[in-house]
Structures are given as structure tokens and as C-alpha cells.
Amino acid sequence: MSRKARRSTHALWVLAFVAVAGCGGGGEGAGDFQDPGDPGEDAAGAGDLPAEPEAGEVLDGGDVDGGDDAAGGETAAEVPRTPGGLPLALPFALTRPDPGPPADPTEIADFTRKITGFLKDIDYFTWVYETTHGTHASTGLPDYQIWWHDVVAVKEGDTVTFRASAKDGGSHNNAEPTMLVLAQAIGGYLMTGDDAMGRIVDQFTKSIVAVTRGFVYDEHDPVEHLMARNIITIGHSFVLPGGKKKAVDYSEWYFPYEGWNADRFRYERNPTWGDVWVTNKRSKDDVPYFDRVAAWLPYVAELAPDPGVRQVAAEALDLLERFARDIVDSGWNIRTKDAQGNVVLVEDQDLASFVRYTGIFPDAECDPRLASALLGYGEPLDQDCGDGQGSPYDTIAGAGNYFNYDIINQFHMAAVALALTRGYPEVARRLLEGLITRIERYRDPGSGEPGQSNENWPRDTARLLLMAASVGVPLTSEEAAEVRGFYGRTIEAYRDFPRWDLWDPSVPDGTYSFRDGGMYPRHEPAFIRIEDIAFVLEYCWSPFRNPAGAPVADCDLVRDPAKWGE
């Protein structure tokens, strides 16, 4: 189904609900949502952190004082902190009944060996570095990389060219995989100090800077914090550290267009990259992925082993905070720019608004507004989202467009993580309780949740469980086993993928698409997507992984790459 058709389908669901409820109004669908499987859419580091609590040991939550502390947040129980004051544990106890049975330790050890061995054998983060691109430092321009959609890899002899493909689309929502992989790389880098992970943290964090500073019209444009969907710079070729020849060709995207969800135009005097093409109308589709990463960036800015990575994390975080403040100050709308560099609101579209449906459902999209307030101003402002779930908007949006589920889930998790890092433990606790309720509803076959009819539901629920565990949800033994099952089956299937190294002589010359099993394993309902394969790193590093939860993996082994696969 086309994006426009999916948008219209969601509008019909909203209108149907309004008609039944006897309300007036209606509107467009929830953004220009894309199917994630078919987007057409050496300083102090983690080694200095305190040891995690033993399994089953829960920090004393104590009495939580609802008053303000010096930082404007709530006073919580004492937790271990970094030298800069970032929390290193949940500030409260949170448990769930677990009917079991608990996993045999051998099962957990076997899974850990399987997933770490896979990441090691394919050299996952080196593979990510080699197959993603942006602008290479050899151009003399600021470097960054993005996990693009709508590109093809063209192999000719000893060179692989990554070429933008106009017939496939304009890669509008590439921030989704880019930020997902960044979150995984952050966890791995801060936990192990691995250079390949650190390189992805550096390059993908720089992409946040690129889509903001690249969206500046000229030297007189004072607004540098709004985000483009993407920027398109110059074609270039270079040699990778291992000697592989790589080229980037954007020429098929060098043309303007106007669309309901995005326009592309040329900024010839951008102060950072010079002559660039930009795609505007940053959509809320991608914002939760930025918001969730933003909760981890303070840790990167303080603890990354490489001072250059710390610096770029601080710069990206500052831009994301300013972007979030702009959303708040603009009435919970995401502003953009036009072809002349003027700042404008996106009119008559839901893709850039968090308040379009509040006249129908007052609690609609509360989590996105709360996340924006916490990121932009460091406090909830007037956004009281309770447990963050239960709005009829969520069910209707998910029924109208399946990808809306992931947007809703990601905003919920982002709000939890930001509440924890910004010092609002009671807000975080209530949101976590709601996230548990949401997950239990999703997994209950009798709940009538519309998304359950989608073939990707079991796979996406398994990923949600692992990501939710990183922000404090204590998994049950059954949920942890579900995660291991999906990831384990995926690894067995992906090991046989024949093009992990496009430069290998065994790979014939030819053109390989970003989809359909060309450049990387095909997205299928039975297997975790390749861009989600390393979330065990975020899980094992996360300061908010709940010690009361059933373990997914042996994190002692995950923390030591020398033992991966053993």
C-alpha cells in the first residue's frame, strides 16, 4: 500500500471513531508513516562504572519526595552516579510477578555465545561502517554517515559505489535505522571501548549535526537547530581503512520536487557543506528515535573513551535540546524551512504536530509532548501523561497504519528514559508501569489489539521487549525466552547471507538493492531486522536495566569482546 493510501486509511479510522462518538473534526493520518521493513519511505570510560547489582538485588527505592531538588527534578533515593552526576541505576524498585519457569543458565550462556559470536564473526559494526555513508572526511568537508534507504550498491571490480536511487524514493525516514543502530553502538562502546563501535557512535552522532547544520540557508540564516529529513552533499570516492575502494553517488537525487510529506530544494550557500540539496518537513515518524538516543548522549559526552566522540555527542545533544525547545515553543509543532530558508509551520498535516487530535482525545500523543519538554527544558512542564498509555488515539492510529505502533512505543520509551536522566523518578515510574501494561496488552491474544493481525507483530514485540528492558521494564522469564528465541533463529538464518562483504571476490559484479536481500538480509516476519540485531549491547550496558527482571543474556560475557563466541 502506498504512503498516501496508508495515510488515508488512518484518516478513515479516525473519522469512523469520531462518527461513532458523535464528535466533530477529523484530519490526516498520523504522519507520513513508513513500513520499517519497506521504507520508501582515552579518558574515563565504562570500565570506571560501578558494578551492577547481583541478579535479584533491587535498590531501595526509599520514599520519593515530590518536591523539587536543586536541578528542578524530584528528590529520589540515592543511586550510584557518574562523576558528572548521571544516574547509573533505577532510583526505585519495580517488580512483576513471574510465573516462570526461569531459564536454565546453560540456555542463557548458549544464547550469549551465539549472538556475540555472530556479531564478532561478521564484524557487525565494521560492516555497518562499510555499507553506510554520508560525506567522507577525505572530501575536506565535515564527515558523517547515515543508514540510508533507497540506495543501491553497485559492484564493479574492486570498487563498490553506493548510489542514490530516484526510482526507489528519497530516503525520507532514514533516521529510524540510523538512530536505532546508534543506540546499540553507544551501549557497546561505553561498555567495551571497542574502536569499531566507537567509529559508528562518532559517524552516526555526526549525522544529527549534519541534518541540522546542513539545513542552514546561508551565512545570514540565524536558525541552525531545525532538522531536515536529510541533506545530500557531493559525490566522492575514497579508500576504507582496510584498503577497500568505496564511492558515493548522489546524482540521481539532484533535482527539486514538492510533496505532501516533503519537498527537496537546493541551498547553494550552506555555511558548512557549501552547495547542498535538502529535504524538508522533518516528520514525527523519526523524532522518537532521536529522543531515545538523546537520553544516552549525556553518557557519551561524559564517558566516551575518545575526546572527539565526547565533543560531537555534546554538540548533537545541544542541537537536539534546542530542536525540542522549538517544538514546545511552537505549540507542540515541528517547524521546518522552505526553499528560501524561511521558517514555516507545516499546515494541514499531522506529520509535524503533536496536538492535531487533542480536540478529539485530550490525551492523544502525550508521550511525545512529555519527551519534548523533558529534552528541551529538562522538566515535564504541564504534561502529565500518567502511565503513558491507554488513549484511544493509540489504538486507532495503530489500526490505521501498523508502523504507528513503533512510533507510539518509541515515544513511550523515550519519555521513560528522559524522565530518568532528567531527574523525575516518579514520572518515570508511572510511565514504566504503563509500559508494562502496554506490553502485557500486546502479548495477550484476547486483548483485541489491532496490531496482532499483522504478520510482523511477534517479531516487533520481541524487539520491543529487549528495548523496554533497557529503560527499566523487568522482563518475565517467558518474555526473556521470547527474545532469545527470535534473536537466536535470526542469527541461524543470517549466518548464510552471501554478501556480508560486498568487496569479496565471491560476490559477482552487479547492482544490489537496499531491500529484497540485496545489500543486507531481507526483512522478513520470522527474523529480527539486521538494524536491530545488536540491542543486547544496549541492554547489557544500560544503567536502567532492572535487576529484578529475568536475564536475556549473560552480560558479564557481553562486556568482554575477547570472550565473544566462547
* 227-254: average pLDDT: 97
CB atoms within 10 A of CB 381: 14
Helix (H) or strand (E) holding 318: helix 307-329
Query: Higher confidence at residue 199 or residue 51?
Result: 199
pLDDT score of 77: 61
- Residues 428-459 pLDDT 10s: 999 999 999 999 999 999 999 999 999 999 99
pLDDT score of 175: 97
Contact of 507 with 501, CB cutoff 8 Å: yes
3-state secondary structure of 180: helix
* Cα–Cα nearest to 164, from 238, 287, 229, 255: 255
Is pLDDT at 487 greater than 80 in this prediction? yes
**Residue 210 pLDDT class (50, 70, 90 cuts):** very high
Helix (H) or strand (E) holding 336: strand 336-337
* Whole-number average pLDDT of the chain: 89
Half-sphere exposure of 298 (CA within 13 A, CB side): 21
- Total number of residues shown for the chain: 566
* Cα–Cα nearest to 295, from 412, 173, 142: 412
* Cα–Cα nearest to 542, from 249, 118, 191: 191
Distances (CA, A) of 185 to 59, 205, 282, 533: 27, 10, 24, 11
* 551-556: average pLDDT: 98
**Residue 27 pLDDT class (50, 70, 90 cuts):** very low
pLDDT score of 14: 41
Contact of 372 with 332, CB cutoff 8 Å: yes
- Residues 404-434 pLDDT 10s: 999 999 999 999 999 999 999 999 999 999 9
Cα separation, 255 vs 166, in Å, equals: 10
* 68-79: average pLDDT: 50
**Residue 391 pLDDT class (50, 70, 90 cuts):** very high
**Residue 68 pLDDT class (50, 70, 90 cuts):** very low
Is pLDDT at 71 greater than 80 in this prediction? no
Its sign, for the CA torsion 378, 379, 384, 388, is positive
Q: What share of the chain is helix, strand, coil (3-state, %, to 5)?
A: 45, 10, 45
Cα separation, 353 vs 332, in Å, equals: 6
State the cell numbers at 452: 496482532
Contact of 562 with 72, CB cutoff 8 Å: no
Is pLDDT at 545 greater than 50 in this prediction? yes
Q: In the sheet that 510-513 helps form, which strands lie side by side, from edge to edge?
A: 236-239, 245-249, 159-164, 151-156, 510-513
Is pLDDT at 482 greater than 80 in this prediction? yes
Give the position of cell 528541551: 376
Is pLDDT at 51 greater than 90 in this prediction? no
Is pLDDT at 350 greater than 60 in this prediction? yes
pLDDT score of 456: 98
Share of the chain above pLDDT 70, in %: 86
**Residue 64 pLDDT class (50, 70, 90 cuts):** very low
**Residue 42 pLDDT class (50, 70, 90 cuts):** very low
3-state secondary structure of 9: helix
Distances (CA, A) of 259 to 26, 32, 171, 279, 346: 21, 11, 14, 10, 12
**Residue 38 pLDDT class (50, 70, 90 cuts):** very low
- Residues 90-149 pLDDT 10s: 999 999 999 989 999 999 999 999 999 999 999 999 999 999 999 999 999 999 999 999
Domain boundaries, the chain: 3-563
Phi, psi of 164 (to 5 degrees): -60, 140
* 556-560: average pLDDT: 97
Cα separation, 394 vs 402, in Å, equals: 11
* Cα–Cα nearest to 507, from 515, 494, 516, 498: 498
- Residues 493-528 pLDDT 10s: 999 999 999 999 999 999 999 988 899 999 999 999
Cα separation, 355 vs 358, in Å, equals: 5
Q: Which of 12-26, 362-376, 436-450, 474-488 has the lowest mean pLDDT?
A: 12-26
Is pLDDT at 22 greater than 50 in this prediction? no
Cα separation, 76 vs 89, in Å, equals: 12
Cα separation, 171 vs 166, in Å, equals: 9
pLDDT score of 539: 98
Share of the chain above pLDDT 90, in %: 85
Is pLDDT at 28 greater than 90 in this prediction? no
Give the position of cell 562504572: 49
Q: Which of 33-47, 140-154, 216-230, 425-439 has the lowest mean pLDDT?
A: 33-47
